[in-house]
């Protein structure tokens, strides 16, 4: 498990950080000793809302064992958060049904017993982590074993031992505890704080640690040496794939890893969506985004690394074609590839953008025999025109730049109008494929609201924001609307189908992406 500590300074900031962190992590740790005026029931409820499966750890760290400067709650709000006050807080956490409460070994056996009684009384499933930290140094291995036993004696369900590494060798002492803990059949969380202790944070999970701590973005660490969630996942992926490589008795299947090739890719929600799909489908594999400088080298990498395939985005959808072995008919006709499938070294290009758009439209209306006004003449317009015509729709194209619009309309044999003539156009459905209204220009729309009653259905391919100005205006005019989220999810589901031969959990993916977009908008 990867756990993100919530170390915000106020309750409001903590709520915001929970919303961001919970979907990205397996667990979050609410550091109630740091969150000024932290409202535990509210924070726990927010975590459940943000991610129903995220595990919650509640901690109220003793100042002597914390490296965080602000522990004001210990000074004022919970004046005298002496042991009884701290126990009351942890008992409240038990009553709220959190997964873990963390109490320091230094609080003593009686405190742990009191928590245990509370768990029994509440018939709660909460587990007790008994923890020990040294914020200054790492003691000898013999001393660490003594500490382990002391934690065990006070009644831990899980033991957590985290000293400060002054030297790299300190990691070895702490990591050796995992083999020792196995003999005593007690789950362990162990790692070193400090920059010199980083390697223990990465290796701990591979050696059996119940969890390791990571931060969403660099700069948010609760203890020095914490890596980002992304870096931690990447390390584990590498460690895991190495393990597989070195099993000589196994025939090694190509690991189904996938990559997004584009430039830029930092904003992309594809990794979130595809990793969620792989996980939900029980497929071991990982999808990562790669900002590509050299496309030829990137394609060589897909073959060399025996990846399952790739997504391709701006600006490579056309350029990539020359590096592939084969092209699916639709991708060839469209002249753009957004998906690569690697079949034992043979790379074939596909396009699921048009499929995504067609599927999103088909959810709301028939396409055959209906009229469509498509705004724009870029790559997405091309996919839209191709897909709609393939399904029997009649398309008018409108674009700001006449030459580009005429060229595209000429290629697909559809009527073309300058965008300025939109007031003369009536159709069953209007589809915006321009970037007008894209975040941060949320208040812009490519079509005046007064003209939207010329259309029964209005679709926007933009999904950030989820409700563009165009869609809001259209809804207010009583039109049916189709959001870019549907197209995005369906084109991703099409990719999954091509890579795995299986159907993707579309509803789950839609919710996952919608949740993230809502978070980004809040
Ligand atoms: P593109 O190739 O760069 O084309 C952009 C189009 O927008 C061009 O036709 C351009 O017109 C038009 N445009 C830009 N600014 C305009 C303005 N101020 N007024 C009028 N027209 C304007 O981009 P693309 O790859 O097609 O992507 C377009 C949009 O689709 C992006 O917002 C992208 O995020 C979205 N998209 C969504 C999905 C999805 O799955 N939902 C998939 C792909 C793309 P000119 O020809 O006059 O320059």
Q: What is the mean pLDDT of residues 322-338?
A: 91
Q: Whose CA is nearest to atom 37 of ligand 1?
A: 461
Atom of ligand 1 nearest to the CA of 464: 34
Please confirm, yes or no, whether 317 is among the known catalytic residues.
Answer: yes
Of residues 55, 127, 145, 317, which has the active-site annotation?
Answer: 317
Dihedral-angle region of residue 208 (phi above 0 means left; psi in -120 to 50 means alpha; beta otherwise): left
HSE, CB side, 13 Å, CA atoms: give it for residue 161.
Answer: 33
Separation of CA 378 and ligand 1 centre (Å): 6
Task: Please report where in the chains the tokens 């400090």 appear, as a residue.
Answer: 194
Q: What percent of the chain is modeled with pLDDT above 90? A: 71
| 28 to 58, 182, 354, 422: CA distances (angstroms) | 9, 25, 39, 51
Per-residue CA distances from 362 to 471, 504, 506 (Å): 18, 18, 15
Tell me the CA–centroid distance for residue 381 and ligand 1, in Å.
8
398-451 pLDDT, tens digit each: 999 999 999 999 999 999 999 999 999 999 999 999 999 998 899 999 999 999
From 274, 431, 433, the mutation candidate for ligand 1 (largest count of ligand atoms within 8 A of CB) is 433
Phi/psi-derived region of residue 97, left when phi > 0, alpha when psi is between -120 and 50, beta in every other case: left
- Ligand 1: distance of its center to the CA of 433 in Å? 5
> Ligand 1, from 378, 401, 463: best to mutate by most atoms within 8 Å of Cβ?
378
pTM of structure: 0.58
Determine the average pLDDT of the residues in 136-164: 92
Place of tokens 């756990």: 3
Supply 402's token pair: 């006449």
- As a whole number, mean pLDDT of residues 500-508 equals 92
Burial (CB count within 10 angstroms: exposed 0-12, middle 13-18, buried 19+), residue 340: buried
Q: And the tokens for 212?
A: 């390791």
The Cβ-side half-sphere exposure at 107, using a 13 Å CA radius, reads 31
Nearest ligand 1 atom to the CA of 419 is 20
Q: Which residue's entry shows tokens 């790692």?
A: 191
Which atom of ligand 1 is closest in space to residue 377's alpha carbon?
9
507-518 burial, b at 16+ Cβ within 10 Å, e below that, comes to: ebbbebbebbbe
What is the average pLDDT value for the chain, to the nearest integer? 90
Q: What's the CA gap between 48 and 29, in Å, rounded?
A: 13
Q: What are the pocket residues of ligand 1 if the criterion is a CB atom closer than 6 Å to any ligand atom?
A: 314, 353, 356, 376-381, 399-401, 404, 419, 433-436, 438, 446, 461-463, 484, 487-488, 491
Phi, psi (rounded to 5 degrees) for 127? -105, 150
Q: Peptide bond before 465: cis, by omega within 30 degrees of 0?
A: yes
Contact (CB, 8 A) for 137 and 162: no
User: Could you tell me how many residues make up the chain?
Assistant: 522
Which residues make Cβ contacts (< 8 Å) with residue 180, sequence separation at least 6?
Answer: 145, 148
Q: Burial, 73: exposed, middle or buried (Cβ in 10 Å; 0-12, 13-18, 19+)?
A: buried
Predicted confidence (pLDDT) per residue in 191-248, tens digit: 999 999 999 998 998 898 999 999 877 666 666 778 888 788 778 777 776 444 433 3
């Amino acid at each position: 498990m990867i756990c993100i500590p919530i170390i915000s300074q106020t309750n409001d900031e903590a709520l915001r950080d929970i919303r961001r962190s919970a979907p990205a992590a397996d667990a979050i740790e609410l550091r109630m000793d740091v969150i000024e005026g932290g409202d535990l029931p509210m924070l726990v409820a927010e975590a459940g809302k943000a991610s129903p499966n995220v595990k919650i750890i509640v901690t109220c760290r003793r100042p002597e064992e914390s490296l965080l400067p602000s522990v004001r709650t210990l000074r004022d709000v919970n004046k005298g958060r002496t042991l009884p006050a701290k126990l009351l807080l942890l008992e409240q956490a038990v009553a709220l049904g959190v997964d873990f409460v963390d109490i320091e070994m230094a609080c003593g056996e009686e405190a742990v017993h009191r928590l245990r009684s509370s768990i029994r009384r509440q018939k709660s499933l909460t587990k007790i982590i008994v923890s020990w930290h040294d914020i200054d140094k790492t003691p000898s291995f013999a001393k660490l074993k003594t500490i382990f036993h002391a934690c065990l004696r006070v009644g831990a369900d899980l033991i957590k031992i985290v000293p400060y590494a002054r030297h790299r060798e300190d990691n070895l002492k702490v990591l050796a505890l995992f083999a020792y803990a196995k003999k005593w059949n007690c789950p362990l969380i162990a790692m070193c704080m400090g920059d010199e202790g980083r390697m223990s944070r990465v290796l701990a999970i591979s050696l059996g640690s119940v969890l390791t701590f990571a931060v969403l973005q660099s700069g948010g660490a609760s203890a020095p040496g914490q890596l980002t969630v992304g870096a931690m996942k990447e390390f584990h992926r590498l460690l895991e794939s190495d393990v597989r490589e070195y099993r000589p008795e196994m025939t090694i299947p190509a690991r189904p890893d996938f990559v997004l090739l584009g430039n830029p890719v930092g904003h992309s929600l594809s990794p979130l969506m595809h990793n969620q799909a792989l996980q939900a489908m029980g497929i071991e594999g990982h999808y990562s985004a790669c900002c590509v400088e050299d496309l030829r080298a990137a394609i060589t990498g897909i073959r060399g690394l025996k990846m399952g395939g790739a997504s391709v985005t701006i600006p490579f959808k056309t350029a990539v074609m020359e590096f592939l072995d084969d092209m699916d008919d639709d991708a060839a006709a469209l002249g753009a590839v957004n998906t690569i499938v690697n079949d034992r070294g043979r790379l074939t290009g596909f396009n699921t953008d048009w499929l995504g758009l067609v599927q999103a439209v088909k959810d709301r209306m028939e396409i055959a025999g209906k009229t469509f006004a498509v705004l724009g003449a870029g790559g997405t317009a091309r996919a839209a025109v191709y897909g709609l015509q393939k399904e029997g729709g009649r398309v008018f194209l409108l674009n700001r730049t006449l030459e580009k619009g005429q060229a595209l309309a000429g290629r697909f044999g559809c009527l073309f109008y300058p965008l300025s003539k939109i007031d003369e156009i009536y159709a069953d459905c209007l589809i915006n494929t321009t970037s007008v209204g894209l975040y941060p220009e949320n208040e812009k729309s490519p079509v005046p609201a007064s003209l939207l009653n010329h259309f029964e259905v209005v679709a926007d391919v933009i999904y950030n924001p989820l409700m563009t100005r165009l869609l809001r205006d259209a809804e207010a005019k009583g039109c049916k609307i189709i959001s870019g989220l549907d197209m995005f999810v369906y084109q991703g589901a099409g990719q999954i189908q091509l890579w795995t031969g299986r159907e993707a959990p579309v509803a789950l993916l839609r919710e996952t992406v919608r949740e993230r977009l809502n978070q980004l908008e809040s």
